Structure 1
Amino acid sequence: MSSEEGDLLILDNDQVAYTGKGAAIRVSGKQNGFMGSAMDVRATTGGPNDAVTGLQVVSGGQGTLQGSTLNASGYFGDGASASGEGSHVRLEQTEITTDGSRGRGVMVDQGASAALIDSSVTTTGFMADAVSAMGAGSSISVTDTSLSSAGNAAFTVRAQQGAHIDLRNGTATAHGQYAAVFNITGADTVITADGVKVQSDLAQGVDMQEGLLQFSNGSINAKADGILIRPSSPLGGGRAEVSHSQVLSQTGNGINLDAKGASLELNDSHVTAQGNNGSAIWMPGGDTQADVHNSVLETWGNQAAAIDNRAGALRMDGSRVVTHGDSSHGLYASTDVIGGQVGGPNATFELRKVVIETFGEGSVGAFARLPGAQISMTDSQVLTHGDLSHGVFVSNGAIAKAQGTHIETLGDNAYGLVSQASTDVANQIDLSDTTVLAHNSTALRVSGGSLRADLTNSRLTGRDAIWMTAGGNGLAAGQVALDSDHSLIEGDIRVDDGTLQLSLHNQSRLEGAITDTPMASRLCLDDSSDWRMLANSSIGQLNNTGTVEFAKPTRGDFMRLKVGGDLDGDGRYIINTDLGSLRGDRMEVGGQVTGNNQIMVRNSGAEPSSGGQRLTLVESQGGAGGFSLANRGQQVDVGSYRYTLQRDDDPAGESRWSLVNVDEHLSTAASAAINSSALSTLRDTWDAERGSLIQRLGDVRDGGHSQGVWMRTYGQKQEVDNGAARHFSQHVNGMQLGLDTRLARSHGALILGGMAGYSHANRDFNGEGSGKLDSYYIGTYATYLDDSGWYADSLLTLNRWSTRFDVHATDGNRVNGKSRSSGAGVSFETGKRVRLEHGWFVEPQVQLSALYGGSDRYRLSNGLRVEADDGIATQLRGGAQLGRALTLDNGATVQPYIKAGWVQDLSARSQVKTNDISSHPDGNGGGWYAGAGVTGALARGQHVYADVETSDSSTLKRPWALNIGYRLAW
C-alpha cells in the first residue's frame, strides 16, 4: 500500500502468504494505513540472501493487527517492522513468530514506533531479537506481552542508538547462549520495564553499553550477570534504576558496574548471586556510583562478596547484606581494579542503618584494602558467624570508620577488627559510639604495619582486647597509636611485636592485662580514666594521672606490674595484700618514679604471724617522685591493727615502699567490734534501762491504791571511751511497761511488780561508720517503803542483745558484722527521805548494781574473727535529792527536785579478741552526775514524772539524759 492519495485497507479473518523477498504486507506513506483482524500472515524468504517481513510500515504509514498470527521464516525474516518518523505498528492480541537467523519479531528504526498489547513474540534463530528499536525517536511500547528469543546471541529486547522501549506487565525470556534478555547500547537509549519477569537461561539478564535501564516491580533471573553495564567507550557511562524488584544471578554477579562512570540506584529490592566468586553488586569500573536503599544484597557461593567495590562509591541505607559461603565477604573495597575502565583511585562505602551478616568460614563482614579504600558505617550492624570470619578488616593503607555501630563475631579466631599492612604502611580505624564484641577471639588484631585508631564513647571487648604481632612473610609490626575517649576496652592486650601507644582519657577504662614483650610500648591515663589489671602485666612506660587497680585476687593469686622504663604522673594505684601470709600485689619499675603517687591498699582480715614484719609493694630505680597511702589517715587496716607505708633507699639508688606495722593502732573493723562487744558498752546501755527508783516508777510513797500500771520512755546521749578502741558515741532510746501490786505492812508497804522493755542504740564511730544495738529485756522488782522514810528497791532483769555495725575500712571497703548475746542484771537501792518544814525534803540514797554479759563469737565480712568473753560489771552510785512537795488549788500535788551524786564503776573490764589478739576495754572509773526532775499526783490515781540528768566520768560522758513516765493506780 503506497497510494499517493491515501488508502486504508481493512481485512478480517483473511490469510496472507508470501514467499520471496520483501514484505507480505507493506504500508508506505503517512496517508496510508492497514488494519487486520483475525488474520494469518506468513512471509517466507525465497532464497538464501532474501529478506522478508510479515508486516512492514515505512515513511509514516500505520499498520495494525488484532487477534492475528504473524510468522516470518528465513534469513532476516522479520515479523513486523516500522521505519521512518511517524511510522507505527500496533499489534494487539497477536502472536508473532520468526524462525530464521537475524529474524526479529518486531523492529523499529529511524523514529518509528510500535505497540504490542496482550500479544506474544517468539524468535528462534541466531541473532534473532524478539523486539528491537534503533535510533533516536524510535520507540516500542510492550504491554501484557510475553517475549521470547531462543537463538544464540539473540536478545529478547534490544534498544540502540537513542531508542526507547517501554514494557509493562509481561515476561521476557532468552534461551540462547550470549543472549541477554535486555540489550541497551548508546548514551540516550532507554529501556523501561514495570511488572516484567525477566529470564535468561544462558547469559545476562540485562547487557548495557551506556544508556538507561528503569526496572521496577519485576524480577530478573539470569545464568550470568543479572545486570551488566559494560565498557563501550572511553567516556563509559550507563545507569540502572531498579526498584521493588528481585535480581538473581546463578553464576555471575547480580549487578555488574563494569563501565567507567556507570551508576546504579537500587530501591526496595533483593539482589542475589548464587554462584562461587560472585557478587550481588560488582563495581570494577572507575568512578562508578551506586545508591542502595532499603534493599537486600545476598550471596550463596564461596569466594563471593555481597558488594565488591574496586573503584567506585557506594551509598547504602536501611538495607541488609548477607553472605552464606566460605571466604565470602559482606563488603569488599579495594583499589586494585580488575577489568573495566579504571578511573579514580578510590573505592568507598557509606552505610547508614545497614545490617551486614556472614555465615561462612573466613567470611569478613567489611573488608577494605589499599590506599583509597574506605568503609564508613553509621547506625549499622556487622555480625559474622563462622570461624576466621572477622568483623572489619583494613589492609595496606585502608580506612574504616564506624559510628553508632555494633560489630560482633561469634566464631573461633574471628577477630572483631583486623589491621594488616606491609612495613611502613599505616591503616586507620575510627570508632564512635560503637561496640566491637569478639566472643571467641581478639577484638583488635594488628598483624604487621602500623595503625591509627580512635575510640570515642565506644567499647572494645574480646578474649584479648588487642593483639599486635608481625605479619606473614616476616612483615614487622610498626606502631599502633590508639586513642580512647570515654571508651571501654575489655580484654588483655598482647604486644608480641611493634609498639603500642595507648592513651586513655575522658573517663576511659581498660579491663585486662598488658603483656608488652618488646617492652617498648607506652600507656597514658588522664585523671578521669582507669586501668583494672586482671593478671600479671608488663609495659615499657607508664604515665598515670588516673587510677590503676589490681583486681582482687582469686585463690590467693596476687599480681605483678612490671614497668620497664619510667613511671610518670600523679597516679593512684589500688593494690591488694594479705599481710597474714606476707603476700600481695607488687609494682616493679625499671626506671625512675616521678610525681606524687598514691596507693590504696586493700587487705584481708588476716594478721601477720609475727610482729616486726613488712611487705614491699613498690620497687624502683629511685627518682624524685614517691608514693603515699590513699587509705584514710594514710593507714591500712590489717586484721586487728593498722599499717603505714615506709620508703627505704639503698646506696645503689634503688627505692622500696613497704607496709610496716603501727603499734597499738586498731583497725577500723577491730575498733568497731571491740566497742560493740565490750562489757562496758552493754553496761552503759543497761544503766539507761535500769535508772533509779524515782526515774523508773516516780514517787510511789503517797498512794492508797493496791495495783498500778506504768510506762516509761527514756533517751540519752553517751560518749564512750573504754581505753582499748577508739572513742565513739551512741544515742540510747527505749520504753518500759510495768505492772505491780501494793501490799500493806505494819510499818509501811511492799510493792511487787514485773516489767518488760526495749532499747535501741544508734552508734557513731566518728566517721568510720555506724552501728546499732537492739536490747530486749524482762524484769521483776520489789520495793519496800517504810513509814519512817526509809526505802529499799531491788531489780532483776534478763537481757537479750542484738548488735550490728557497718563501717568503712581505710581503703573505703565496707565491713559489717553482727552478733547476739544474753545477760542478766541486778540492782539494789536504798535511801531515806527526811522531811523538812514547808514540804521540803532531802533524800540521801545509794545504789549497787551488777550486770553479767555472756560470751559471743562471730566473724566480720572481711574475715576478722571476734571473740568476746563473758564478764560482770559492778557499779556503786551515791547521791542525794533535794525537793519540795507542793499542793495545788485543784488538789493535785507536784514535787520538783534537784539531785547530785557520784558514780563509781568498780569492775567493767572485759576481754575481746580480734584474730586471737586480745584487747581489754575497761569502763572502770568514777564521775559525778547532776540533774533535776518533777513528779506529780493527779486526780483518780494518775501520776506523771520526768527527770533530766547529765554526768561526766573518765569513761562515759552523758551530755543529757531524759526520762518521762506515767503511772495509773487503782
Structure 2
Amino acid sequence: MKRKKDVIKKAVLASVLAMSLNNVVWAAEGVNQPFSTVSELEALGGIASIDSSSISHVTKGIYASGNDFIYNSGAIKLDINGFANSTNSGYDSIGIFGYNSTIDLKQIEMNFIDTSGTVHNLDVYGIKTYASGVVKIGDDSKITVSGNVSGLDSNNQPNVMKGMYAGDNATMDSGIIEVGDNLELNVINAGTGWTYGIDSYDGATISVGDGLRLFVTGGKDTRGVEGGFNDAKVTLGENASITANSRDGVALGVYVFNTGKFEGAKDLTIIASADDGNRWAAGVLAQGAGSEAVLNGAVISATEGGTASYAIYTYNDGSVVGNAGKYNIYGNILNNSGGTVDLTTNSGSFIEGWVSTASTAETNISLEEASYWKVTGDSNLTHLHNDNSIVDMTHDSNIFSTLTVENLSGENGVIEMDIDASQNSLNSDKLYVTDTLTGTQYIDLYEVNGYTPVGEEGVGTVLATVNNHNGSFAAVDGEGTLYWKRYELDHQDTADTSGNYTKDWYLKQVTNIDQPTTSTDTILAANALNYHTWRTENDKLLQRMGELRHNGEEAQGAWFRLRGTKIGRDGKFDFENKYTSYELGYDTITKNTDDKIRYQGAAVSYVDGDSSYNRGSGDNSSKAISFYNTEIGSKGHYLDVVFKVSNLENDFKVYDTKNNKITGDFNNTGVSLSAEYGRKNVLHNGWYIEPQAQFTLGYLGGDSYTTSNGIEVSQSGIKSAVGRIGFNIGKEVGSKGVVYAKANLLHEFGGGYDVTMYDGRDGVKVGDTFNDTWFEYGVGAAFAAGKNSHVYLDVERSSGSDFTKDWQWNIGARWTF
C-alpha cells in the first residue's frame, strides 16, 4: 500500500490544490482540468472548508484512488459550500470518495451544503465508494448533505442525492462502508431528484454501529436505506432511527430488491411518510426473490397524506422476517405475489392496520404475552398464533370486518368483535379458519349500538366458521351497566355452502351473573366514601381545641386547626380517600364557678379530598358548621357536647372493562349530635390517666342522581350510632404542657343503607350495613406557646376492621383574649 506522500504526489500531478493537516488529505479535484476557480481551501486546527459553488466540473472533498490510503487519528470538520455548478449530468459532487482505496477517519463532521438555491442537474453523494474502495468513519460523526438536485440523467432516470453509497463498477470488488456508533446523517433535497440515506448496491456492504440517526427528505421518491443486486447488504446496530419523508412521491424507510439484504438490531425505529395522499409510503419494502429484510424488534410507522400506508410491503418473492422482539407497527401489511412475512412479537407489542396476503404469498404472525393487534379492515393471513394476546376487530368504523386465517393456534388469546344484535344477518365481525383450529381462543363481544353488553337478542349469531376442528372457542363475560352477562358458545354443522368449512361457532345463550359491574361497584363505593368521611370528621375534644385546662382566665378564645387523613375500606365496594380538613372556631366562657368552667362556641370547617376507586378516581369535599358546649370540672372531669351539620359533595370518573367512561356526582347532608365525657386522674410524678366515653348519634341523608351511562341512583339515608370507650395516658410537662398516648375502641351500632339503581331496562337494589367495630390508637401533645396561645397536635391510625384509617395527623392553635 502506498504512503501518504504518494497521495500528495498524485494530487500535485493532477494539478489539484491540496493541503495536509493532522494526517488528513483534503482535495478538490477537477476533471480534465484543475479547479482553478476554487477560492478557498483552508485547514486550521482540524477544520477545512472548500468553496465549490462556482466549479463547472466534479467536486470531491476527500478523495483517494489507486490503492491510496488516507488516515486521520483526530476529529475533523469539513465544510463544502455548494455543489458543482454544471449542466452536465455526467458530473458528480461527492463529499468523500474512495475508489480502489481506503479512507479511515476517526471522527468527522461534514457539511456538504448548497445554499444558493440553484437547481443542479447532477448526482450528489455524501460518501461514495466502489471498485474495492473502503471508507471507515468512527464514532460520533455527523454528515449533512443539503441542496437542490433535480432533472434526469443520460439514461432518462432521475438524478439522485445520497448520503452514503457503496457499489461496484463491474471491474473490481464492490465497495465497503463501515461506520461506528452514534452517526447522525441528514440528507435534504429541495429538488425533484430521488433522495437516499444509505444505499448499498451490487454486492456492496454498509454497516453502521449503534445509535444511528438518519433523516431523509425530498421532493420526489425517497429511501431511508436501500440494498439491491448481488446480495448487497446494509446492517444497522441497536437503537437506530430511520426517517424518510417525501413531499410529492413515494417514501420508503427500508427497501431491498433483487437479492438485496437488510438487518436491523433491536430497538430499530422506521418512520416513512408521503405528504401527498395520492402517493404511498412503506416502512419496509422487499421486492424480488432472495431479497430479505430482517428485524429484531422495531417501531415502524408508514403514512400517506396523514393516513395509514404500508408498514410492511412485499412482492415478487421478497421476504420480511421479524424475529422475536418488541414491535410497535402502525400501518398495513401487504404481502403480494410470492412474498413472505414472518413476524413474532414479544410481550407488550402493538400492531395497528389490516393484513392482506395473496394466494401465492405467506404471512405468519405470532402474538405473544399481552401483545395487541388493532385490526382496521378485512384481513387474511396464513398462520395466526394468538397466545395470551388480543386481536381487536372493533376499530373499523363500525363496518363489520372479516379475519381469514389458514391456521389459528394459541391459548387464552382474545378476539374482540363488533356485533349488532338488532340485525338477523350480516350482523357481526366474522372469523374464518380455512384449515385448522387448535388451542382455545376467547371471543369478546362489543355491541355497536351501545347496548352494554349484548343481550338475548344476540343469541344465534354465528361468530366463527372453521374447517378442521381441533380447538375451541369460548366467550368473555360482558360487562353491562348493572349486570355482567355470561355468554355460552357452541358449535354446529356449518351453514356455509362453499364446501370449505365444517363447523359454525355461534352464541347459544346469555345469562346474568352475580358480580358487581364497574358502575355498581363505584356507585356503592362512593356512597361508602361519603359516609365514612362524614363519620371520621366527628372527633374528640382534645383534637379539636387542645387542653382547655391550660386555658387561663380569659373569657374568649379563637382556634384554628389543620388535619390530613387517609381512610379506606377493604373488601366489597372498596375505596380510598385522602383529604385535608380546615377548621376555624370561636368560643366564649359563659359560666365560671369554683365547680366548672363552661365554654360555648361555634366552628366552620371545609374538607378537600381526592378519592380512588377500583377503576378510576374522583374528588370529594364537605362544608360543615358546628356548635359546642364544653364544661371543664374542677375535679378533672369534662363534658363536651357538639351539634354539627355537614354537606358533602362527591364526583367520580371511572372506566369499565370496555374502556367506557362513567361519571357521576351527588351530595349528602348529615347531622350529628355527640356527647363526650372523661375524667383526668392524677398519678405520680406528673403522670395521669384519663378514661373517656363518647356517643354520637347521626343521620346522613341520601340523594338521587343519574350517572353518565344512564343509571338512575337513589340512596337511602343512613342512621348512625357510634360508641367509643378509651383512655389517654400522659405526663404533664411543666405547668402548661402534656404529652400523651391514646387508645380507643369504637363500634357503629347503626349504618344500615339501601341503594336502588335502574338503567332503563333492569334494576337492582343493594342493602347492607356499615356496623363495625374497630380500634384506634395514637400519640399527641398540647402545650402553651405563649401567655395567650396554645398549640396542640396528634397522630393516630386504626386497625381491626374493613374500615381503615391509615393515618391522620392533626395540628391546631388556640388564642385567648
Pairwise same-fold verdict (TM > 0.5): yes
Q: 1:437 aligned to 2:272?
A: yes
Match of 1:478 in 2: 317
What are the within-5 Å matches in structure 2 for residues 781-796 of structure 1?
A: 781=628, 795-796=643-644
Work out which of the residue numbers 678, 699, 723 in structure 2 matches 1:850. Answer: 699
Work out which of the residue numbers 488, 504, 510 in structure 2 matches 1:654. Answer: 504
Flag the 1:688–1:448 CA change in 2: closer, same or farther, 3 A: closer
Q: 1:776 aligned to 2:623?
A: yes
Match of 1:753 in 2: 601
Work out which of the residue numbers 642, 665, 672 in structure 1 matches 2:484. Answer: 642
**Cα distance between partner residues in 2 of 1:797 and 1:543:** 62
**Cα distance between partner residues in 1 of 2:26 and 2:728:** 111
Q: 1:590 aligned to 2:402?
A: no
Q: Is residue 842–residue 883 contact of structure 1 (8 Å, CA) maintained in 2?
A: yes
Work out which of the residue numbers 643, 663, 666 in structure 1 matches 2:516. Answer: 666
Q: 1:329 aligned to 2:329?
A: no
Aligned residues: 696
Q: Structure 1: give runs of 5+ residues left out of the alignment.
A: 1-163, 169-190, 197-214, 227-242, 256-260, 471-476, 834-839
Deviation at 1:391, TM superposition (A): 5.2
Q: 1:874 aligned to 2:719?
A: yes
Work out which of the residue numbers 825, 828, 840 in structure 1 matches 2:671. Answer: 825
Q: Secondary structure at the match of 2:204?
A: strand
Q: Is residue 374–residue 395 contact of structure 2 (8 Å, CA) maintained in 1?
A: no
Match of 2:306 in 1: none
1:358-381 deviations in Å (ceiling 9; x for gaps): 6654636389899x5335253685
Q: Is residue 618–residue 658 contact of structure 1 (8 Å, CA) maintained in 2?
A: no
Work out which of the residue numbers 248, 251, 257 in structure 2 matches 1:412. Answer: 248
**Cα distance between partner residues in 1 of 2:178 and 2:741:** 90
Matched to 1:825, the amino acid is: V
**Cα distance between partner residues in 1 of 2:233 and 2:598:** 97
Q: 1:612 aligned to 2:456?
A: yes
**Cα distance between partner residues in 2 of 1:517 and 1:264:** 51
Deviation at 1:565, TM superposition (A): 0.7
What are the within-5 Å matches in structure 2 for residues 451-850 of structure 1?
A: 451-456=291-296, 460-463=300-303, 464-465=309-310, 477-484=316-323, 489-505=329-345, 510-518=351-359, 520-525=361-366, 527=368, 530=371, 532-536=373-377, 537-545=379-387, 547-550=389-392, 553=395, 556-557=397-398, 560=401, 562-570=403-411, 572-573=413-414, 575=416, 587-597=431-441, 607-608=451-452, 611-614=455-458, 619-621=464-466, 623-626=469-472, 637-644=479-486, 646-651=488-493, 652-656=502-506, 660=510, 662-676=512-526, 678=527, 681-690=529-538, 719=569, 726=573, 738-741=585-588, 743=590, 752-758=600-606, 773-781=620-628, 795-804=643-652, 809-810=656-657, 819=665, 821-827=667-673, 848-850=697-699
**Cα distance between partner residues in 2 of 1:898 and 1:469:** 75
Match of 2:750 in 1: 905
Matched to 1:373, the amino acid is: G
Q: Is residue 760–residue 774 contact of structure 1 (8 Å, CA) maintained in 2?
A: yes
Flag the 1:847–1:545 CA change in 2: closer, same or farther, 3 A: closer
Matched to 2:343, the amino acid is: S
Q: Is residue 674–residue 912 contact of structure 1 (8 Å, CA) maintained in 2?
A: no
What are the within-5 Å matches in structure 2 for residues 11-90 of structure 1?
A: none
1:181-216 deviations in Å (ceiling 9; x for gaps): xxxxxxxxxx464549xxxxxxxxxxxxxxxxxx98
What are the within-5 Å matches in structure 2 for residues 355-370 of structure 1?
A: 361=192, 363=194, 365=196
**Cα distance between partner residues in 1 of 2:84 and 2:231:** 27
Matched to 1:801, the amino acid is: E
1:355-406 deviations in Å (ceiling 9; x for gaps): 6666654636389899x53352536857352434555555554524143574
Matched to 1:665, the amino acid is: Q
Q: Between Structure 1 and Structure 2, whose CA radius of gyration is higher? A: 1
Identity %: 14
Matched to 1:325, the amino acid is: G
What are the within-5 Å matches in structure 2 for residues 82-231 of structure 1?
A: 191=13, 193=15, 195=17, 220=30, 222=32
Match of 1:71 in 2: none
Q: Secondary structure at the match of 2:291?
A: strand
Deviation at 1:671, TM superposition (A): 0.7
Q: Is residue 227–residue 260 contact of structure 2 (8 Å, CA) maintained in 1?
A: yes
1:115-144 deviations in Å (ceiling 9; x for gaps): xxxxxxxxxxxxxxxxxxxxxxxxxxxxxx
Flag the 1:410–1:783 CA change in 2: closer, same or farther, 3 A: same
**Cα distance between partner residues in 2 of 1:967 and 1:494:** 77
Deviation at 1:566, TM superposition (A): 0.8
Deviation at 1:797, TM superposition (A): 1.0
**Cα distance between partner residues in 1 of 2:806 and 2:11:** 102
Q: 1:383 aligned to 2:216?
A: yes
Q: Secondary structure at the match of 1:365?
A: strand
Flag the 1:437–1:778 CA change in 2: closer, same or farther, 3 A: same
**Cα distance between partner residues in 2 of 1:944 and 1:355:** 67
Q: Is residue 797–residue 807 contact of structure 2 (8 Å, CA) maintained in 1?
A: yes
**Cα distance between partner residues in 2 of 1:454 and 1:949:** 59
Q: Is residue 594–residue 625 contact of structure 1 (8 Å, CA) maintained in 2?
A: yes
**Cα distance between partner residues in 1 of 2:701 and 2:27:** 95
**Cα distance between partner residues in 2 of 1:846 and 1:195:** 103
Deviation at 1:526, TM superposition (A): 6.0
Matched to 2:602, the amino acid is: G
Deviation at 1:794, TM superposition (A): 6.7
Q: Is residue 668–residue 700 contact of structure 2 (8 Å, CA) maintained in 1?
A: no
Flag the 1:308–1:804 CA change in 2: closer, same or farther, 3 A: closer
Deviation at 1:535, TM superposition (A): 1.1
What are the within-5 Å matches in structure 2 for residues 283-322 of structure 1?
A: 289=100, 291=102, 312-316=131-135
Q: Secondary structure at the match of 1:690?
A: coil
**Cα distance between partner residues in 1 of 2:190 and 2:807:** 78
Q: 1:280 aligned to 2:92?
A: yes
Q: Is residue 222–residue 244 contact of structure 2 (8 Å, CA) maintained in 1?
A: no
1:829-881 deviations in Å (ceiling 9; x for gaps): 79999xxxxxx99999986533334445554xxxx45654465333457x798
Flag the 1:491–1:313 CA change in 2: closer, same or farther, 3 A: farther
Flag the 1:763–1:856 CA change in 2: closer, same or farther, 3 A: same
Matched to 1:502, the amino acid is: D
Q: 1:350 aligned to 2:199?
A: no
Matched to 2:452, the amino acid is: P
Flag the 1:397–1:628 CA change in 2: closer, same or farther, 3 A: farther
**Cα distance between partner residues in 2 of 1:935 and 1:467:** 68
Flag the 1:934–1:272 CA change in 2: closer, same or farther, 3 A: closer
**Cα distance between partner residues in 2 of 1:380 and 1:728:** 48
Q: Secondary structure at the match of 1:564?
A: strand
Q: Is residue 273–residue 280 contact of structure 1 (8 Å, CA) maintained in 2?
A: no
**Cα distance between partner residues in 2 of 1:614 and 1:885:** 68
Deviation at 1:329, TM superposition (A): 3.5
**Cα distance between partner residues in 1 of 2:795 and 2:776:** 7
Match of 1:373 in 2: 203
**Cα distance between partner residues in 1 of 2:566 and 2:372:** 49
**Cα distance between partner residues in 1 of 2:630 and 2:29:** 108
**Larger relative CO (CA 8 A, sep 6+): 1 or 2?**
2
Flag the 1:500–1:277 CA change in 2: closer, same or farther, 3 A: same
**Cα distance between partner residues in 1 of 2:111 and 2:633:** 106
Q: Is residue 441–residue 474 contact of structure 2 (8 Å, CA) maintained in 1?
A: yes
Deviation at 1:489, TM superposition (A): 4.2
Flag the 1:937–1:638 CA change in 2: closer, same or farther, 3 A: closer
